[in-house]
Structure formats: C-alpha cells, structure tokens
Amino acid sequence: MILIAYDGSKHGQRAIAVAAERLAGPALVVHVLSAAPRAPLATDAMTGAMLDEDAYAARERELRRRAENIAEEGARLARAAGLDAEALVVEESGHRIWRAIVDVAEERDATMIVLGHRGGSALRTSLPGSVSRAVVAHCDRPIVVVPCEREPPHYTSDAARKAFADVAEHSARDHHDELERMAHQEAARRAGLNPRRGIRL
C-alpha cells in the first residue's frame, strides 16, 4: 500500500499525479489535522468572543469537516489518475505532522510514502520543521519526495508584463546580432580574410 500525504495544496496534487504515473497498487491518501490544544481563556480569531465548550466543539467539528473534504479530494484525484485510493484523516495535537504520517505508515505497513515538497530557498528548506525532511529522518520505509514544479513568472501589472516582454525581445535581438557577427567572422576566417578590414590574409 502506498501512503500519499496530502494537504490540499498544488504540491500535494503534484505528489498524487507523480505517484499515479510512476507507481501501482492500492493507495491511502492521508490528511493530517493538526489540532491546537485548548487554551483556558481563548477567543475566536474572527469575532474576538470568548470560546466556551460549545464553541470549541463547533469549531472542532468544522475543522474535522474541512479535513475530511481535503482527504476525500485527494482520494478522488488519485482515483481519477488510476490509483485504487481511499481517504484517511488523522489527528495530532503536537504540531508534528511528520509523526502522524510515520505512525500511519507503520500501522498500515505502507510499502512507500509519497510527499510533496514546497521547495523554496536553500535556507528555508534546510531549516528544521520541514515535514518531508522530518519524515525522511524518522522513517525507515521507502520515501519519495516530489519536488514542486517551476512556476511561470508572475506579473503585478500590465506594465510589468510589457517591460518583461520588451527585455526578452531586446535580449533575443542582441543574441541574434551576436550570432550573425560571429557567423560573418567565421566565414571571413575560412575565406582567409581579415574580418575587420575585408582584406585577404
């Protein structure tokens, strides 16, 4: 059984696509619900109202519902890509998502774990806390970490898009001119001419 960790992001979607393309067999799409511990005096982030037991319970039900939707979305994507997939939501309360993934892999005897990787700068990806790095460090099962795809450039305005296009056009023209100059020099060299003066050497 292949365990695919899925968080609803495009990186998770790419992990599912790569798993379906390269691997075969039943798959378990796992979404980890990281539940924050209850604070004695907590307020709702949106309204600022104090949270009582009923409010806590309602919030937890909503978080659970969202988590189940994400897990089922991942399973649907996997099934559409050709895998025999089921969804699973697991909860953990210590903000250690990697631990929940490793535990499920052990409990279900997963033959392989597939995770997406968000990428980023060398500094950011080397920092502790990366789920993929932690899973690799704490699990002895085969693991596939799928890198993120290189994204096309994003533009903040039409002016930025035009400026980029102008730079690309000028760069291409300069490159063409340089290639043409080099071709003339090579032709002159083969003809035994001085490429600067046009006289035979």
Choice between 22 and 59, residue whose per-residue pLDDT is larger:
22
Section 13-42 average pLDDT:
83
Which pTM does this prediction carry? 0.64
Question: Domain coordinates of the chain in residue numbers?
Answer: 2-146, 153-201
**What is the per-residue pLDDT for 27?**
96
- DSSP 3-state assignment of 11? helix
Q: Which two tokens stand for residue 178?
A: 């340089």
> What are the tens digits of pLDDT across the range 69-110?
999 999 999 999 999 999 999 998 777 899 999 999 999 999
- What's phi and psi for 141, nearest 5 deg? -90, 160
* Distance from C-alpha of 122 to C-alpha of 118, rounded to nearest angstrom: 12
Confidence of residue 141 (pLDDT cuts 50, 70, 90): very high
- Please report how the helices 131-138 and 97-107 are oriented relative to each other, as an axis angle in degrees rounded to 10: 40
| Residue with token string 């631990």 | 99
- Please report how the helices 53-80 and 10-22 are oriented relative to each other, as an axis angle in degrees rounded to 10: 40
Between CA 41 and CA 146, with CA 129 as vertex, the angle to 5 degrees is 130
Q: Which superfamily does CATH assign the domain made up of 2-146 to?
A: HUPs (3.40.50.620)
